[in-house]
């Protein structure tokens, strides 16, 4: 009996997986929120789900840094002061510097590590210092400061942003925090512009890619957990005018960066008295993270991409290839194990990430032809469907293949 060639088998399994997505809304759909504010007059230039509860992830560290800057200004901390690392801090989940219990780190290095590496162990070191040895006491101070800044929809539960279901915020509250950091600590705001940080023999690049790619962007912070999606708090200045852009709940770091870039470009066009006439730009903003695209359109986009055979998809059946395909986490961790540990326990779905939906605008999606039914077999395939699957296939794909081939 003939069996399915590897590429034909994988194409059918992944098509079945994409088709299943038609039955449910995308997991990221309820995570997206955004807002853009002109700091000159406080005008809201754009907002979408800006008051809906979301998880801040590592944007939490912006409040931690605000508290550090307050402490320096009041004389409670000095940049040259060395902070001792506790056992609790050394056991923090990634992303982290890997500090050893009993070692020390200077306050200024701690600031740099939070801004660039988004180090969770460093956040705990600072929290324990400013909380009298207790991160919980520091968190109480964080929440009091949040209320003082008008962040009434925000509740902090830790100093790092590590997953906690009760740690919530809104895009509007995060914009208030970004504005407060800039206005209250202008003399230290330049830390958020750091392109890199060197610790020991390693050099860590700032996760905020917009610093290097978008004119005027000079801060401030990224964030990611499975529950939050990809978050970004950005600020940019052009011609003496500054805007703050917040996006929460991105599907990927790349799509998040592209969307925030579009929001910033549109904001400066409006500030300059221009009109956003670029149709592609308007579409990208309106359909940021494809939040208005139906589940059916999303699945169609996925099916379209899967019509073209791709040797890389076949190679990705190997577990190591999956890791290469999806890359490292947005927070800079360098292994899949670290990515899983930084998340909120929802697990890691390499197949889902591998067949990520096309970012095509709604008009293009609507015009997308329905793919040839999977029962139609190309002449060159000339196969018989059997229940035998290639060895080493992912269990998710095996389940889908079984569903696909069951009479």
From 58, 90, 95, 358, active-site residue: 58
| Strands 43-48 vs 33-38: parallel, antiparallel or unpaired | antiparallel
CA distances from 288 to 102, 108, 169, 192, 300 (A): 46, 37, 20, 25, 18
Our answer to whether residue 74 is catalytic in this structure is no
Residues 6+ apart with CB under 8 A from 311: 7
Cis before residue 124, ω within 30 degrees of 0? no
Sequential DSSP letters for 129-150 = HHTTT-HHHHHHHHHHHHHHTT
List C-alpha distances in Å: 243 to 18, 57, 101, 206, 286. 39, 22, 41, 20, 19
Please work out, in degrees rounded to the nearest 5, the angle formed at the alpha carbon of residue 340 by the alpha carbons of 114 and 327. Answer: 80
Using a 10 angstrom Cβ sphere, with 0-12 exposed, 13-18 middle and 19 or more buried, the burial of residue 144 is: exposed
Q: Respond yes or no: is residue 80 known to be catalytic.
A: no
Residue linked to tokens 């809906």: 52
Catalytic member of 95, 118, 228, 255:
118
Cis omega (within 30 of 0) for bond into 253:
no
Distances (CA, A) of 397 to 1, 149, 162, 235, 375: 22, 49, 31, 42, 18
Annotated catalytic residue 61: yes
Q: Please give the radius of gyration of the chain, using alpha carbons only, rounded to the nearest integer.
A: 23
**Catalytic entry in 31, 61, 176, 221:** 61
Catalytic residue numbers read 58, 61, 118
């Amino acid at each position: 009996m003939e069996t399915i060639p590897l590429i034909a088998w994988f194409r059918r399994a992944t098509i079945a997986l994409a088709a299943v997505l038609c039955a449910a809304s995308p997991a990221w759909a309820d995570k997206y929120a955004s807002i853009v504010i002109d700091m000159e007059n406080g005008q809201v230039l754009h907002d979408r789900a800006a008051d809906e509860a979301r998880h801040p992830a590592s944007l939490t560290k912006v409040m931690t840094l605000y508290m550090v800057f307050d402490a320096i200004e009041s004389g409670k901390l000095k940049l040259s002061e060395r902070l001792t690392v506790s056992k609790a801090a050394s056991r923090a989940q990634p992303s982290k510097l890997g500090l050893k219990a009993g070692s020390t780190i200077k306050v200024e290095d701690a600031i740099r590590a939070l801004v660039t590496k988004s180090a969770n162990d460093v956040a705990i070191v600072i929290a324990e210092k400013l909380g009298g040895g207790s991160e919980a006491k520091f968190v109480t101070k964080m929440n009091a400061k949040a209320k003082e800044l008008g962040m009434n929809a925000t509740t902090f539960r830790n100093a790092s942003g590590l997953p906690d279901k009760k740690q919530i915020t809104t895009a509007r509250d995060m914009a208030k925090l970004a504005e407060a950091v800039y206005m209250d600590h202008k003399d230290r705001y330049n830390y958020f512009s750091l392109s890199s940080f060197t610790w020991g023999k390693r050099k860590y690049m700032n996760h905020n890619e917009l610093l290097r790619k978008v004119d005027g962007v000079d801060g401030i912070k990224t964030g990611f957990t499975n529950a939050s999606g990809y978050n970004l708090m950005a600020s940019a200045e052009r011609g003496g005018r500054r805007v703050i852009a917040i996006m929460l709940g991105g599907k990927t770091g790349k799509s998040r960066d592209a969307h925030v870039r579009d929001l910033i470009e549109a904001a400066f066009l409006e500030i300059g008295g221009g009109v956003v006439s670029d149709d592609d730009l308007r579409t990208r903003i309106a359909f940021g993270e494809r939040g208005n695209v139906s589940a059916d359109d999303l699945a169609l986009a996925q099916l379209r991409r899967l019509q073209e055979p791709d040797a890389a998809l076949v190679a990705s059946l190997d577990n190591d290839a999956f890791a290469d395909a999806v890359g490292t986490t947005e927070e800079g961790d360098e292994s899949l194990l670290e990515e899983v540990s930084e998340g909120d326990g929802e697990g890691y779905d390499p197949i889902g990430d591998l067949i990520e939906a096309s970012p095509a605008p709604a008009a293009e999606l609507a015009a997308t032809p329905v793919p040839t039914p999977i029962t139609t077999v190309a002449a060159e395939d000339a196969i018989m469907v059997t229940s035998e699957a290639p060895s080493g296939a992912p269990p998710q794909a095996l389940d889908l293949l079984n569903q696909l081939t069951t009479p």
